[in-house]
Amino acid sequence: MTKDPRPGADQHDVRHMLYPFANPSHLSRHPPLVIERGAGVYVYDGNGKRYLDGQGGLWNVNVGHGREEIKEAIRAQLDRISFYSIFGGTSNRPAIELADVLCRWTAQEGMARVFFSSGGSEANEAAYKLARQYWRQVGQPMRHKIISLKRAYHGVTLGALSANGITPYRAPFEPLLAGFIQVETPHVYRNPFTTDPQALGRLCAQLLEREIEFQGPDSVAAFVAEPVQGAGGVIVPPANFWPLVREVCDRHRVLLIADEVVTGFGRIGSEMGSRLWGVKPDMMVFAKGINSGYIPLGATMANARVCDAFVTTDEALFSSNAFLHGNTYAGHPLACVAAIANLEIIEKEKLHLNAGKVGAYLMERLQSIQDKHRYIGDVRGQGLMIGVELVADKKTRAPLDLSLNVGARISDACREAGVLLRNLADTFIISPPLTFTHANADEMVDAIDDAMSQLD
Ligand code: PMP
C-alpha cells in the first residue's frame, strides 16, 4: 500500500469515508479531530492534547469515558460468548436480564416489554411499526398515521426521517413516507403566537388536537415527540404541554410515543424525560444513554395496552400475532451487558440528580455571560441538555447569516482552548457526561466566554 504524501493524511483519512452529515470536500480542508482515548469527562487526541467533552460523545456518554465496570462486563461476556441471536427459538442471558432491568426502570410509566435494536433510528422505526401493527391487531387497520412535531429529530431511516421536522434533513429524500404529519412545536423563544409559555403549551396541544380531528381520529395511530427536543435546537416545552398532549391522545385513543433517545436515563435531571413532565406514554424509545455508547443499542418499550394485543391463547394466531419485525443485532449480548453495568452506575451514583444540579449551575453561569456578549440570544435547557442560540440582533432575535459560520468559529476557538462543543447551525449543544462537576462547568463557561470575546 502506498503512503499518502499529504501531511497528517494518515491521521486524518478523509478520503475513504463518507462522514455523516458532512461534505467530503469541506472535511479535506477542515480535517476532523481524531479522538484516541478517553477518561471520565475528558478525551485526548493523538498528540495527547486533552479536551473537556462538552458534547458527551454525541449526547450519549452519560457515565463518562473508560468506566471500568462497563469494560469489565463486556470482557467477561466476550469470554462467555460474543453473540447469539434472539430470533427463532433462541435467546441470550444478557438480553433477558436487561429487559427485566428496563421494566424496573420504567415501572412508574407502566412499560411492560422491550424490543431491542441497535440505535435510536431503529428504535423509532420499531415503535412506529409496533403502533401500526397494534391497530391492525385490535381491528382498526385504518389507524396508520404518525403525527410528530416540527423541529423534531427521530432518526435517519426512512420511517424515522419521515417523522422528523427539520426541513434540511428531509428535503434531499422527498417524497418521504405517506401518513407522517408534523404539527407546531411549543418553542418559547421562536414562535409567532405568544410570549406566555403556558398559553403556548395550551395552543400547541390544541393544534395537535385540531390536526387529529382534521385527519380523522380513526386514521391516526400515534403521536411521537421528544420530552425535550434535541437536534432541533434544545427546545424545552412549557410544563403544561405534555400533560395536555396526553389528554388529547386519550380523547382520540391515539398512542403516545416518547422518544427518550437523549432524555432517557438521567440527562434532563430525572430518570426519564416523561417523568419530568409527569406523563405515562404508551411507548418509550431509548438508545444513547442506555449504555453510554459503549456498544450500539436501541430499545423500544411498550405498555400492557400495546403488548396485550400481541398476546393470544389461540395457537392458530401465533404467527399472525407475532410482531413481524427484527434486526440481527437485536439484544446483542455485549451491548446488553454494557447497558446493565451502565444503568447500575447511573442508579448508584444518582447521576440524574447530579445532571439536575450541575445543569442548573451551568445554565446560571451561561446566563451570567449572556449580557456581555452581543451574539448570545438565548440560553435554554433542562439538566445537562443545554442549547445556546446565537443571533444577529438580540432585540429582534434576527438569526445570524449562516454563511458567516459564527457558530463554527466559536466551537473552533473552544476546541483550541481544549473544550469540545457541537454547533448545530448557530445553536451550541451542550450535553456532557452526567458526571460533570461544578469545576468542569466553570472550565467550559470560561472557554466559551473567551471564544465569544475574541469574536466580539
Ligand atoms: N431520536 C432522537 C431524539 C435523537 O436525538 C437521535 C439521534 N441524535 C435519534 C433518535 C436517532 O438515533 P441514532 O442516531 O442512534 O439512529
Instruction: Kindly list the structural domains of the chain, giving each domain's residue range(s) and its CATH number in brackets, ordered by start.
Output: 33-63+350-455 (3.90.1150.10), 70-348 (3.40.640.10)
User: What's the average model confidence in pLDDT over 368-394?
Assistant: 96
| The three cell numbers locating residue 242 | 405534555
pLDDT, averaged across the chain: 95
- Please tell me the chain's helix, strand, coil percentages from 3-state DSSP, rounded to the nearest 5: 40, 20, 40
> What CA–CA distance (Å, rounded) separates 263 from 227?
7
**Mean pLDDT lowest among 8-12, 86-90, 222-226:** 8-12
Q: What is the mean pLDDT of residues 323-352?
A: 98
Residue 318 in this model has a pLDDT that exceeds 90 = no
Q: Which residues of 17-52 are buried (b: 16+ CB within 10 A; e: fewer)?
A: eeeeeeeeeebeeeeeeeeeebebbbbeeeeeeebb
Res. 128: pLDDT tops 80: yes
Residues in contact with 41: Cβ distance below 8 Å, sequence separation at least 6, in sequence order: 52, 53, 64, 65, 432, 433, 435, 436, 437, 440
- Nearest C-alpha neighbor of 391 from the set 401, 383, 399: 399
Q: What is the whole-number distance in angstroms between the Cα of residue 332 and the centre of ligand 1?
A: 19
User: β-pairing, 42-45 with 50-53?
Assistant: antiparallel
pLDDT at 451: 93
| pLDDT surpasses 50 at 7 | no
Question: What pLDDT sits at residue 118?
Answer: 97
**432: helix, strand or coil:** coil
Which residue has its alpha carbon closest to ligand 1 atom 13?
A: 120
Q: What is the mean pLDDT of residues 224-234?
A: 98
pLDDT of residue 14: 76
- Give ipTM to 2 decimals: 0.99
Q: From ligand 1's centre to the CA of 231, what distance in Å?
A: 9
Contacts of 368 (CB under 8 A, 6+ apart): none
For the stretch 187-206, pLDDT in tens is 999 999 999 999 999 999 99
Q: Which residues line ligand 1 (CB under 6 A)?
A: 119-121, 124, 153-155, 226, 230-231, 259, 261-262, 287
Q: Which of 231-240, 336-345, 446-455 has the lowest mean pLDDT?
A: 446-455
Q: Identify which has the larger pLDDT, 321 or 222.
A: 222
| Ligand 1 mean position, distance from CA 160 (Å) | 9
- 10 Å CB burial of residue 70 (0-12, 13-18, 19+) is buried
Q: Is the pLDDT of residue 171 over 50?
A: yes
Q: What is the mean pLDDT of residues 421-440?
A: 95
**Is the pTM higher than 0.90?**
yes
pLDDT at 9 over 50: no
**Distance (Å) of CA 274 to CA 182, 264, 269:** 20, 8, 11
Top mutation candidate among 62, 169, 262, 427 for ligand 1, by most atoms within 8 Å of CB: 262
CA of 122 to the centre of ligand 1 (A): 9
Q: Which is higher by pLDDT, 405 or 288?
A: 288
Task: Identify the band that residue 320 occupies on the pLDDT scale cut at 50, 70 and 90.
Answer: confident
Confidence of residue 319 (pLDDT cuts 50, 70, 90): confident
Name the percent of the chain lying above pLDDT 90: 89
Closest C-alpha residue for ligand 1 atom 1: 154
Residue nearest to atom 14 of ligand 1 (CA): 120
What's the CA-to-centroid distance between 79 and ligand 1, angstroms?
Answer: 31
pLDDT, position 313:
86
Arithmetic mean of pLDDT, 198-215? 98
